[in-house]
Structure 1
Amino acid sequence: MYKLLAKLNKLLLPSFTKRGLDITKAKKWQKALLAYRYFITMKSLK
């Protein structure tokens, strides 16, 4: 299930690292999205 979510995240959600987003200046919703993507990625690798 997590592998499918990780693939969907990659396709649908924006990549902030490619845009050069500075995490210290990110808005709350951007930080929440980063945390969500991190969580799903870590779960899919296990």
Structure 2
Amino acid sequence: MKKGLFKVLAKANKLMLPSFTKQQLDLSKAKKWQLAIIGWRAFVTMNALD
């Protein structure tokens, strides 16, 4: 159940949230909200893959 939820969240993230790697964002110059999105996407991805 938990893994399925994270898989759905991962798909939603891919559709709705911006991809900063495509924009070649430098993490040292990223704003707080950009770092929060990166962290959220990483958290969801790690839990979807477990």
TM-score by length of 2: 0.90
Computing the radius of gyration over CA atoms, which structure comes out larger, 1 or 2?
A: 2
Identity of paired residues, percent? 59
Gaps of 5+ in 1: none
RMSD value over aligned CA atoms?
A: 0.3
More helix by share: 1
Q: How far off is 1:27 after superposition?
A: 0.2
Counterparts of 1:7-18 in structure 2 under 5 Å?
7-18=11-22
- How many pairs are equivalent? 46
SS in 2 for 1:7: helix
Residue identity matched to 2:16: L
List, as ranges, runs of 4+ consecutive aligned residues in structure 1 with deviation greater than 3 Å. none
**Could you give the per-residue CA deviations for residues 1-46 of structure 1, whole angstroms, max 9, x where no partner exists?**
0000000000110000000000000000000000000000000001
TM-score normalised by the chain length of structure 1: 0.98
